[in-house]
């Protein structure tokens, strides 16, 4: 039949488009090929606690499609910042692992570390409330080992089958691509309110851990339980930890919002600048070790990625240090093209049957194939192993290796059998000899069904200010949710964590906590599963507090002010004596003084010295600094009458930072928020407000000591009921 050349009408075009529209209302979920799915929440395993099976065509299709949804930007962890450095072992851990780089104190293992946010696009802000990626590529003599971790030790979901759903829910809503790099919207909380397994991670994500002060001040965690394997083949379960030398610190939420406006590259700039200045970030690398015979001794399952092992039960043993000492030469070639994979391991390290980890072992290679466009992504310089690489893999897009010879198969005789297999004693990788005998099931172990105990443990372990920040964060996030039923479901889940928490969040939302929390319509079980078997367990109260979970109480928290930045608000005629005294005291403790003046260029001190200005009042903000000092000037009206200076001091006060004033600045103090609580300097007891009354040593000692507290939480208003 001859085709008509008549152009289609708009209605005809709409009908063509309609053929491609898919409406899921009232429909069963299927594969891309129309097969109805009985269980979309669990991967196929050998037994409910066994390893995931490669034959799981449903999971592979789902994750493959997800991995290829966007190119070339990473789907998650798109916005990143990286640096080179080294790992140095403290000593012999051969009783637990034969991994040579963990036992060799004579060699510094090169590393590349990439930090990132999870949800936002590449152009989003560094200060979004989000999980931070903490991925390390160890270039060991036995091959590449990637520790692909986060700054939070647990995750939202228990099974990799749910990862595409989680990310689809947290990404900008698809009809308008709003909001960017934020979880404060309906689709995220709709998903979370139906997944009680996420409640522990929600506590972390709503805490100050999700808005770190710096990449240099974050903990790092491997999240999953892995295995160490020693030379005798003995397995020990292990969790990886990185504890920052500078302690674990955060900004407050209002600061995060303002930093995003002042400097959305705040974390990138901080990392880059400090490495350039020689302030090399450092972490202690430690492990929690659990003997295989103790696998089931806890009141939770160590294979559950929504659980952590409290450090009070299993202390973290330091085994080395990680130092970053060199910035990349080219962001794209290194930071953007680096390709991590939790399946990159070396002899002495092996996997557990954690079902989230098992799915990641498939997903990461698939993702790199999509993002970097070739199976040869390992040949990109930043990904290239320093160990010799020989195999029979050939060709492919962008191949760089020039393979010499006619043989590319095994076994062969034309090349005397080479490259040959390596015996275990020769360094050949041998998987842990684990007995597996189970039915193929799409199930989740009953030992994974306690969803609230560790969420309660985390909340109860926080100090009062930290708890208040979680409450405020939940109020903010849920106030952005338009669907009231989702808010109510979340309050029902929060009441399982803490009645006080749920009540205070509900107060901010103007609704009541449900008397009978609505049971989730779906929380990780299949269509034919017995819901009673998967009911969330009641809270386990056998351990109620862990100081390691609080940034304020954490035993590794330090009062060091090293690399902290103090804004000196200066005008022409500034007291050079006062300025130089505090500047010298700060620099002796590794902190830095930054001059903020009325204009760019320089100002003149009271002794005639030209003083370089680092920032201008109108182009800076207190949120970019850790403390504030105002030295007196010949004419203090330059400060008192400047609105930017008043706002600078008010924000510093609001954000609980140390503020120092020279004597004689009462008019300036009265013009700020502090003036409402001030009495012409007669009452010098306002926490964190320090007056220099002429005794330079007393003032500088007090100022630096108070800075070591990092925040003056006594000044923070109590949360409203």
How far, in Å, CA of 451 to CA of 673, rounded? 44
pLDDT band at 60 (very low <50, low <70, confident <90, very high): confident
User: Which range among 62-71, 247-256, 260-269, 336-345 shows the weakest confidence by mean pLDDT?
Assistant: 62-71
| Percent with pLDDT over 70 in the chain | 93
Mean pLDDT taken over the chain: 90
- What does the pLDDT read at residue 128? 96
425-472 confidence digits (pLDDT tens): 888 888 998 988 899 899 889 899 999 999 999 999 999 999 999 999
The residue with greater pLDDT, 64 or 638, is 638
Question: What is the mean predicted confidence (pLDDT) over 85-104?
Answer: 95
Does residue 629 have a cis peptide bond before it, meaning omega lies within 30 degrees of 0?
Answer: no
| Percent with pLDDT over 90 in the chain | 70
Closest listed residue to residue 368, CA positions, set 349, 383, 385, 351:
383
The two tokens of residue 545 are 């507090």
The pTM (predicted TM-score) of the whole model is 0.90
- What does the pLDDT read at residue 64? 77
- What does the pLDDT read at residue 522? 53
- What does the pLDDT read at residue 6? 43
pLDDT band at 20 (very low <50, low <70, confident <90, very high): low
- Whether the pLDDT of residue 403 is over 90: the answer is no
pLDDT band at 512 (very low <50, low <70, confident <90, very high): very high
Helices 484-497 and 186-193: crossing angle, nearest 10°?
Answer: 50
666 is catalytic: no
Same fold, 76-155+212-383 and 565-715: no
330-386 confidence digits (pLDDT tens): 998 899 999 999 999 999 999 999 999 999 999 998 888 888 888 888 888 999 988
Whether 635 and 606 have beta carbons less than 8 Å apart is answered as no
DSSP class of residue 176 equals: T
User: Out of 39, 41, 42, 77, which one is annotated catalytic?
Assistant: 77
Count of all residues that appear for the chain in the document: 721
Distances (CA, A) of 617 to 103, 620, 635, 644: 52, 6, 16, 6
Contacts of 330 (CB under 8 A, 6+ apart): none
153-191 confidence digits (pLDDT tens): 999 999 999 999 999 999 999 999 999 999 999 999 999
667-687 confidence digits (pLDDT tens): 999 999 998 887 655 555 689
Does residue 189 have a cis peptide bond before it, meaning omega lies within 30 degrees of 0?
Answer: no
569-579 confidence digits (pLDDT tens): 999 999 999 99
Distances (CA, A) of 468 to 210, 474, 716: 15, 10, 10
User: Out of 42, 150, 151, 353, which one is annotated catalytic?
Assistant: 150
Whether 162 and 524 have beta carbons less than 8 Å apart is answered as yes
Per-position DSSP letters for 191-220, written without gaps between them:
HHHT-GGGHHHHHHHTSGGGSBS-GGG--E
Query: How many other C-beta atoms are found inside a 10 Å radius of the C-beta of residue 315?
Result: 14
Contacts of 83 (CB under 8 A, 6+ apart): 112, 113, 271, 275, 281, 324, 325, 326, 327, 328
How far, in Å, CA of 164 to CA of 1, rounded? 45
- What does the pLDDT read at residue 17? 47
Question: What is the mean predicted confidence (pLDDT) over 548-559?
Answer: 88
pLDDT band at 4 (very low <50, low <70, confident <90, very high): very low
Longest dimension (CA), the chain: 100
Domains of the chain, by residue range, sit at: 76-155+212-383, 565-715
Question: What is the mean predicted confidence (pLDDT) over 621-635?
Answer: 96
150 is catalytic: yes
On whether the 76-155+212-383 domain is CATH 1.20.210.10, my answer is: no
How far, in Å, CA of 515 to CA of 492, rounded? 8
- Whether the pLDDT of residue 80 is over 90: the answer is yes
Alpha-carbon radius of gyration of the chain: 28
- Whether the pLDDT of residue 419 is over 50: the answer is yes
Helix (H, G, I), strand (E, B) or coil at 571: coil
- What does the pLDDT read at residue 156? 96
- What does the pLDDT read at residue 1? 40
- What does the pLDDT read at residue 644? 96
Question: What is the mean predicted confidence (pLDDT) over 495-503?
Answer: 95
Question: For domain 565-715, which architecture applies?
Answer: 3-Layer(aba) Sandwich (3.40)
Q: Please, which residues bridge with residue 18 across strands?
A: none
The residue with greater pLDDT, 535 or 47, is 47
3-state DSSP helix/strand/coil % of the chain, to nearest 5: 35, 15, 50
Strand pairing report for 108-117 and 80-89: antiparallel
Question: What is the mean predicted confidence (pLDDT) over 658-669?
Answer: 94
Query: How many other C-beta atoms are found inside a 10 Å radius of the C-beta of residue 261?
Result: 11
- Whether the pLDDT of residue 396 is over 70: the answer is yes
Helix (H, G, I), strand (E, B) or coil at 644: helix
């Amino acid at each position: 039949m001859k085709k008509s050349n008549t152009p289609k009408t708009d209605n005809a075009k709409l009908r063509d488009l309609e053929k491609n529209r898919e409406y899921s209302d009232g429909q069963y979920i299927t594969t891309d090929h129309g097969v109805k799915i009985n269980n979309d929440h669990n991967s196929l395993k050998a037994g409910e606690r066994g390893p995931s099976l490669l034959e799981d065509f449903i999971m592979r299709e789902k994750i493959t499609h997800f991995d290829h949804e966007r190119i070339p930007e990473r789907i998650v962890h798109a916005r990143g910042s990286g640096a080179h450095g080294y790992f140095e072992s403290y000593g012999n851990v051969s009783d637990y692992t034969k991994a040579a780089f963990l036992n060799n104190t004579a060699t510094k293992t090169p590393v590349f570390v990439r930090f990132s946010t999870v949800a936002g696009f590449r152009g989003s802000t560094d200060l979004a409330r989000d999980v931070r990626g903490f991925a390390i590529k160890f270039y060991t003599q036995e091959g590449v080992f990637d520790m692909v971790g986060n700054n939070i030790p647990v995750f939202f979901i228990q099974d990799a089958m749910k990862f595409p759903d989680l990310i689809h829910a947290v990404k900008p809503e698809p009809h308008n691509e709003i909001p960017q790099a934020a979880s404060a919207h309906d689709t995220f909380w709709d998903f979370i309110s139906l997944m009680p397994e996420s409640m522990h991670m929600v506590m972390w994500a709503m805490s100050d851990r999700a808005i770190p002060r710096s990449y240099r001040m974050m903990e790092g965690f491997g999240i999953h339980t892995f295995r160490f394997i020693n030379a005798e083949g003995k397995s020990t379960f292990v969790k990886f930890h990185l504890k920052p030398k500078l302690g674990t610190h955060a900004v407050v939420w209002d600061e995060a919002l303002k930093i995003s406006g002042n400097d959305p590259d705040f974390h990138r700039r901080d990392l880059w600048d400090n490495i350039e200045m020689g302030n090399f970030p450092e972490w202690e690398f430690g492990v929690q070790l659990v003997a295989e015979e103790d696998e089931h001794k806890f009141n939770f399952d160590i294979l559950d990625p929504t659980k952590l092992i409290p450090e009070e039960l299993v202390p973290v043993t330091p085994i080395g240090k990680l130092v970053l000492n060199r910035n990349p030469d080219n962001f794209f070639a290194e930071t953007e093209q680096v390709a991590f994979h939790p399946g990159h391991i070396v002899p002495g390290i092996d996997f557990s049957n954690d079902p989230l980890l098992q799915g990641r072992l498939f997903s990461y290679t698939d993702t790199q194939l999509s993002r970097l466009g070739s199976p040869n992504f390992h040949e990109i310089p930043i990904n290239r192993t320093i160990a010799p690489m020989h195999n029979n893999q050939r060709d492919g897009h962008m191949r760089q290796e020039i393979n010499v010879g006619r043989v590319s198969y095994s076994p062969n005789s034309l090349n005397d059998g080479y490259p040959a297999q390596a015996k275990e004693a020769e360094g050949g990788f041998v998987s842990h000899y684990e007995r597996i005998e189970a039915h193929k099931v799409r199930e989740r172990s009953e030992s994974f069904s306690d969803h609230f105990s560790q969420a309660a443990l985390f909340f109860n372990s926080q100090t009062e200010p930290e708890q208040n920040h979680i409450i405020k964060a939940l109020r903010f996030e849920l106030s952005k949710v338009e669907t009231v039923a989702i808010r109510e479901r979340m309050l029902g889940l929060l009441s399982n964590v803490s009645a006080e928490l749920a009540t205070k969040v509900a107060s901010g939302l103007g609704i009541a906590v449900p008397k009978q929390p609505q049971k989730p319509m779906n929380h990780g079980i299949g269509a034919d599963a017995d819901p009673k078997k998967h009911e969330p367990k009641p809270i386990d109260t056998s351990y109620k507090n862990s100081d390691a979970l609080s940034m304020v109480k954490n035993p590794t928290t330090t009062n060091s002010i090293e690399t902290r930045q103090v804004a000196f608000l200066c005008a022409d005629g500034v007291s050079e004596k006062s300025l130089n005294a505090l500047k010298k005291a700060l620099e002796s403790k590794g902190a830095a003084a930054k001059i903020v003046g009325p204009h760019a260029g320089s100002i003149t001190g009271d002794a005639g010295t030209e003083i370089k200005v680092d920032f201008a009042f109108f182009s800076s903000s207190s949120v970019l600094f850790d403390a504030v000092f105002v030295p007196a000037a010949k004419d203090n009206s330059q400060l008192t009458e400047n609105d930017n200076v008043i706002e600078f001091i008010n924000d510093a006060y609001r954000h609980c930072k140390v503020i120092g004033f020279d004597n004689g600045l009462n008019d300036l103090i009265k013009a700020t928020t502090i003036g409402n609580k001030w009495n012409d300097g007669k009452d010098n007891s306002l926490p964190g407000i320090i007056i220099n009354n002429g005794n330079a040593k007393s003032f500088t000692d007090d100022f630096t000591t108070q800075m070591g507290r990092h925040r003056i939480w006594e000044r923070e208003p109590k949360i409203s009921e």
